[in-house]
Amino acid sequence: MLDFGEPAAVGYGSVCEQGATGMKQQLKATIQRLMKPGMAETHAKIDAIEHLLRARSGGEVAVWRGGLLDGRAVNADGSEDPALTPKYRDELNFWVGVARDPKQLADAGGYQTAFGTWQRQRLVELGQFVGLEDTDAARTAWCAQQSVVEIGAGPYPSVAEARWRRTVAVDPIAEGYVVEDLLPTHAHADEVTYIAAAGENIPLPAGFADLVIIENCLDHVSDPPRVMGEMRRLLRPGGFMWLLVDLMDYSDHMHPHSFSEDKLRALIASCGYEVVKDRKSDHKSHPQAYGEYRALLRKPALISTPGSVSEPKPAAQSQPVAQSV
């Protein structure tokens, strides 16, 4: 088991998945073994509580299981999500094409060289927004002190280009990246713990992260406000979120949510983030986009006052390793 309360360096090929449902089932089974016969009412109450929790959280979101050809989007109960299967398959197919077609990124040196360069550039800009001295030594020292989580990380996350105190990448298609052998073979990818989970249900404790990164992902998710709320929960008070979103009016099944700068600013404010620094540029990743929005956001620090209610403190939480691929 992994203890997420302490720094962990696990092979990038290890895919961990959320044990929320499994842990509930284990807890229920344990209670059942300890209970005396005739406790059906207690069983019913447990079921009712679980139903209420699922309703309040908005429900779980399926993750991808398998490779490109034989995989599917699977719910926690093992059933297929027919709406997410084609979406996830097309997203995985995109990455397979980028990684294996030598023509796609030939001018940039190929898949790993190109993405390695781009991700390092993004971390350099992060250092500038944070206010670090513009040197490799300053960035290295700062990263080494941060617990970081990247949401919708893809097969080559930016967190792989630095060494952190604790490094987690979250992506619902994580297993597909492993099965299709898309993970980078250099940088610090072997120090990244990859969790197969959607951004709407991140199996990490509150206050786990000093920094949350989400790069060109918010337009892909099922429920952007819920993802923004989950990231805020993950952050410690005063922690940073590093956000990048394509600006466009276009949407499709892989990009169900289009964002303008005004729409993003409204979402950021409604979720309780402070804007430390931001920019808008003509650069874009999607061909239908007209620009991009980049921002360093901060979760407000807690102010201790008599009778105030504090947010949950980070807690050590063991997670089962579902499988090592």
Of 55, 50, 10, 63, nearest to 203 (Cα)?
63
pTM: 0.77
Phi, psi of 14 (to 5 degrees): -85, 120
What CA dihedral angle connects 195, 315, 59 and 293, to 10 degrees? -60
Position 274 scores a pLDDT of 97
How many Cα atoms are found within 13 Å in the side-chain-facing hemisphere of 133? 7
CATH number of 12-32+109-302: 3.40.50.150
pLDDT digit string (tens) for the chain, length 325 residues: 333 333 333 334 444 444 444 444 544 444 444 444 454 455 444 444 443 344 345 678 999 999 999 999 999 999 999 999 999 999 999 999 999 998 999 988 999 999 999 999 999 999 999 999 999 999 999 999 999 999 999 999 999 999 999 999 999 999 999 999 999 998 898 999 999 999 999 999 999 999 999 999 999 999 999 999 999 999 999 999 999 999 999 988 898 899 999 999 999 999 999 999 999 999 888 888 899 999 999 999 975 444 433 343 433 333 333 333 3
Terminal C-alpha separation, the chain: 16
Cross-strand partners of 3: 318
Beta strands 318-319 and 63-65, pairing class? unpaired
pLDDT score at 100: 94
How do the domains of the chain map onto residue ranges?
12-32+109-302
- What's the rounded Cα separation, in Å, for the pair 158 and 115? 9
